[in-house]
Amino acid sequence: MLPGYEDIIEAAGAQRPLWWDQNGVPRFRSHHPNLASDIYAEQVVLLRIACQSCLHEQLVQMTWGPGDALRSLIRDEWAALRKGERFDAEAPARSLADAVRDGTLHYGDPPHHAVGDSGDFCHAGCTMSAWSLRVEEFWKRADWDWGRVSELEVVMPDGKPCAGCAAPSPECACVGGPVRVDDEENVG
């Protein structure tokens, strides 16, 4: 669960955040990777997510850089040691681009939010992982210049309609959860 940052939101007055960074901090300027909380980031994603409880949608930023690569390497080495498996130190660390390509990009708990227009705080949703709906922007840095990578600006598996009932995946009521369009051969 992320902090609420009510002090920042109250200081902004009636203005609503346009997006949140990877720490759940509300942001009020148009998104650009230069505003990322990780100044060493090499990849930045602006991801549309939905609360699992109330389906409220928000834009959140995720970053990936050299520090993440090192943390990933250390985590993978410890996992291999714990399982008694051989560790391949030469295997590349998984980046945001890898997670987008294989459909596993995941933000975690959504930033604090209200249920619809009621203004009531969504207590349950802020403690549940969010649905990853769509990569709205994917940025990559090369030599300190940011460039968009449009082929990675895609609908994520959670954002695709269920092949069983045609409802958006977060709203699907099929037994066993949504049937992915990729899994249509499983529709019976």
Spell out the residues 6+ positions from residue 139 whose beta carbon is closer than 8 angstroms to its own.
33, 43, 44, 45, 146, 147, 148, 149
16 with 87, same domain: the answer is yes
30 with 83, same domain: the answer is yes
60 with 36, same domain: the answer is yes
- Predicted structure pTM score: 0.81
Looking at the domain assignment, is residue 1 inside a domain? no
36 with 77, same domain: the answer is yes
79 with 167, same domain: the answer is no
Domain, as residue range, for 120: 6-155
95 with 146, same domain: the answer is yes
28 with 57, same domain: the answer is yes
Q: What's the structural domain count of the chain?
A: 2
75 with 132, same domain: the answer is yes
Q: How many CB atoms neighbour CB 85 within 10 A? A: 9
**What average pLDDT does range 141-147 have in this prediction?**
93
117 with 80, same domain: the answer is yes
174 pLDDT above the threshold of 80? no
Looking at the domain assignment, is residue 91 inside a domain? yes
**What digits encode the pLDDT tens for the residues 72-125?**
888 788 878 888 888 888 877 789 999 899 888 889 889 877 776 666 777 676
Structure tokens at 155: 């609908």
177 pLDDT above the threshold of 70? no
65 with 85, same domain: the answer is yes
pLDDT, residue 186, reads 35
Q: What is the DSSP letter of 115?
A: S
Looking at the domain assignment, is residue 99 inside a domain? yes
Q: What is the dihedral of CA 163, 165, 167, 170, to 10 degrees?
A: -80
- From the list 8, 2, 44, the residue with the least C-alpha distance to 23 is 2
